[in-house]
């Protein structure tokens, strides 16, 4: 019985240590994002509250809200919906933060073709 309590205490301690070490990715992140006509500079303004992520993606086409954002440890995921001529295009982003770099993959809803890019923390 004592061993079970010791194991439970160690597990809880490890869990809290992992949560405490998780990256806070709040701030501005900038990078060249591949697109249909080459790359474009995108700015992601992110706000993290616990495991929830909100913010915006801004590029030459405008500013788009981040939806369904989540941060789990160093893993990041969110969705951005673009509107063009009455059509909605859902973009799914996933990645991993390492210091001041965020390595990302982007897929379009309904497609499994991923494009990879990196963002650098600007502030």
Q: How far apart are CA 58 and CA 97, in angstroms?
A: 20
Give the pLDDT mean for 30-51.
93
Residues 6+ apart with CB under 8 A from 100: 120, 121
pLDDT band at 18 (very low <50, low <70, confident <90, very high): very low
Q: How far apart are CA 115 and CA 93, in angstroms?
A: 10
pTM > 0.75: yes
The predicted pLDDT at position 1 comes to 56
Residues 6+ apart with CB under 8 A from 109: 89, 90, 91, 92
Task: Select the more confidently predicted residue: 84 or 17.
Answer: 84
pLDDT at 37 over 50: yes
CATH 3.90.1150.10 is held by the domain 25-121? no
Q: What is the DSSP letter of 5?
A: H
pLDDT at 77 over 60: yes
């Amino acid at each position: 019985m004592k061993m079970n309590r010791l194991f439970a205490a160690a597990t809880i301690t490890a869990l809290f240590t992992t949560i405490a070490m998780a990256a806070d990715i709040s701030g501005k992140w900038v990078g060249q994002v591949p697109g249909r006509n080459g790359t474009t500079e995108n700015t992601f303004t992110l706000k993290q509250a616990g495991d929830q992520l909100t913010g915006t993606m801004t590029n030459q086409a405008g500013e788009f809200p981040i939806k369904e954002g989540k941060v789990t440890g160093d893993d990041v995921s969110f969705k951005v919906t673009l509107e063009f001529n009455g059509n909605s295009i859902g973009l799914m982003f996933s990645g991993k933060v390492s210091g001041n770099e965020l390595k990302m993959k982007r897929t379009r809803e309904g497609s499994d073709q991923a494009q990879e890019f990196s963002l650098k923390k600007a502030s």
